[in-house]
Structure 1
Amino acid sequence: MGGASDAALASWHALGLRYGTAYVYPKSALAAGDKAAFHALAASCSTTGYAWTASDSPDEVVAKAARLRFPLMVKPVDGSGSKGVTHVARCDDLPAAVACARSYSASRSVIAEEFVQSRPLAMGGEAASPLLVGQTRAPLRATLVLPSAEHRGATASWAVMETSNQSLAAQKKTAAATSSFSVFALEPFPELQPDDDLVGAITDVLARTGAELEDGDIVVVASKVVSIAEKRYIDLASVTVGPEALELSAKTGKPASIVQLILDHSVAHFLATEKGPIIAQHRLGYQLTSAGIDRAGTEGAWLLPVDPDASARALRDALITHTSAEIAVVIADSDGRADRRGATCISIGAAGLAPLRITEHTEPAGRAKRQEETFTDMVAAAAGIVLGQRGRGAPVAVLRGINFTPSDEGVASMIHRGR
């Protein structure tokens, strides 16, 4: 049984008594409203969940929530329905959201949780909206023992009695095979200026061309337009050039100010040949030609987004809000390889799809083989066929028909650390 507001609680109770249903008010209703108890339940099941923090101190919850991965859902710990719940996309909006949540909390306690897209979980029956794995529906069933003690102000003791179907961990690993897909560019696309609304530009092109996003689409966006929208411009006149940059500039022929930016935004580098290009290990962990620095005419340069995965999540959330289509987003960057000429496209940010695809099969001799594929890089490369044409002005492409595993792990989760 379910309802949309607290006003329905008494009706649930009356109906439960009349028809002998298992729903009991107020104990189960209060238990269902305890967010901390839910997280305790998830932990007891060894279920990989999302990060969260809770406190009755507004300053503490704001400080700890600021270290979580945005966007967040901020809500009363002991709330019910949607009262006091705020979707927070920026750190600056946290204090107001926390104040709102506290005003609806009897205990004056607030919880901030990382927002996870497309992972509904139903307890006590088959999920009405099953967890999606690519385009394969795999419902999870579970039977719970609810707390028998009065719940308000007490810590719940939850126990999972029975689960069936695939585990969440197993479901994350695989997606249905892809036999074919299509890709198209959003064009003509306007030339963005710093602080322009990238999402607005995308939805405007969709409207003007009559195109529509569909559930399961992957929207691939060139990193440069994300950097432009996020005002990542650097005036080369403001760059102080050091001796190492001057030496590398002489070897490669690259402007000394650009070389200095490469050094400033990387932790290591090497030359692919005696004259370059410069292959740099970016501070974010990516190995990129020129540390991802993109020239902006003769007087400036564009840096990578501060957090490409966060940028992808923000784009994904905004596009879902505007189009109502459950889509994923990949931020792609052109990149050269040290062993060959030319450039390809790789992913530097992702939201809504797992960055790695795991494939498994058994050989005729019986030996099992398992392989991890950099799935978002393959998606970026496929989009690069239409994106990677200089001067064309098509920084956004849509891939349709690719099966994938929903995830917000992001590209950063597959980067080798400690190098």
Structure 2
Amino acid sequence: MKPITLFPLEGIPLVRPGDDLVALLAEALARRGGPRTGDVLVVAQKIVSKAEGRFVRLSEVTPSPRALELAQITGKDPRLIEVILWDTAEVLRVRPGLIIVEHRLGFVCANAGVDRSNVAPEGEEIVLRLPEDPDRSARQIREGLARRFGVEVGVVIADSHGRAHRKGVIGVAIGVSGLPALEDWRGRRDLFGYVLQHTEVALGDLVASAATLLLGQAAEGIPAVLIRGLSFLPRESTARELVRARAYDLFR
């Protein structure tokens, strides 16, 4: 088994709405010697959202009656709750300080991914929504890099999520292009010849979580990571492959 190497892409400036994200990533990759076919680029969700202008100024938000109701329970700003509801398919759990929802993209997370950290200077009431279509964003980055460098790389857009029954956040894939989000290992044999019956590997999440060790959660300033040496069969995929269908979700 060959080693897997992670390269932090440094020197990417603060991203603003309308910035050419592919160009910024390409410049950072060029400083690292450029990508190779089979590499995977993991990009932090925040810089994708920022480039796509997914900012919301809370002073411009009018809370709905539902937002006011949930704000009473959670103790959160009703304007923030309203923004969360914009991206919510269903509110699943509510208690003081917490709102868990099914995002309109299918996955379950806190606050519909709406975030304040690393978004704006302290005191400015601005929040950031997830990209409108992270799979599309990943595909556009992959296609843009292929045009610039002439090589095929996989792209994962990573966000930090909590998990049921476990403490702490980890990196998960919310957008995938050019590699399998989910690998089906059923039919493979283990060391003793046993044929695997149920094993599926969340490759997109594994890649996102590994890269998050370098992306960090606070002031690291590393918004993208290049991964080299990963073995996979390239194919077009989406992060929706990782979402468990409601019929098989035993925890709702």
| TM-score normalised per structure 2 | 0.86
CA contact 1:354–1:407 (8 Å) conserved in 2:
yes
What does residue 188 of structure 1 align with? 11
Structure 2: runs of 5+ lacking an equivalent: 248-252
What does residue 264 of structure 1 align with? 86
What does residue 250 of structure 2 align with? none
* Distance in 2 (alpha carbons) for counterparts of 1:232 and 1:396: 19
What is the aligned counterpart of 1:214 among 36, 40, 49? 36
User: Percent same amino acid at aligned positions?
Assistant: 37
Q: CA deviation at 1:282?
A: 0.6
What does residue 154 of structure 2 align with? 328
CA contact 1:224–1:294 (8 Å) conserved in 2:
no
What is the aligned counterpart of 2:21 among 192, 198, 212? 198
* Distance in 1 (alpha carbons) for counterparts of 2:153 and 2:194: 38
Instruction: Indicate the SS of the match to 1:409.
Output: coil
Q: CA deviation at 1:299?
A: 2.0
Q: CA deviation at 1:210?
A: 4.2
Q: CA deviation at 1:386?
A: 0.3
Residue correspondence of structure 1 range 398-417 to structure 2 within 5 A:
398-417=226-245
**Matching of residue 391 in structure 1 with residue 214 in structure 2:** no
What does residue 244 of structure 1 align with? 66
Q: CA deviation at 1:229?
A: 1.0
What is the aligned counterpart of 1:293 among 104, 111, 114? 114
From the superposition, tell whether residues 231 and 355 of structure 1 become closer, same or farther in structure 2 (CA, over 3 Å). Answer: same
What does residue 138 of structure 2 align with? 312
| TM-score normalised per structure 1 | 0.53
What does residue 303 of structure 1 align with? 129
Structure 1: runs of 5+ lacking an equivalent: 1-177
What does residue 351 of structure 1 align with? 177
* Max Rg structure: 1
Q: Deviations over 1:213-252 (max 9, x none)?
A: 1111100001111111111222212222123323433433
- Structure 1 stretches of 4+ with a deviation exceeding 6 A read none
* Distance in 2 (alpha carbons) for counterparts of 1:306 and 1:322: 25
Highest relative contact order (Cα 8 Å, sep 6+), 1 or 2? 2
Q: CA deviation at 1:314?
A: 0.6
State the superposition RMSD in angstroms. 2.2
Aligned length: 240
2:131 aligned partner, one-letter code? P
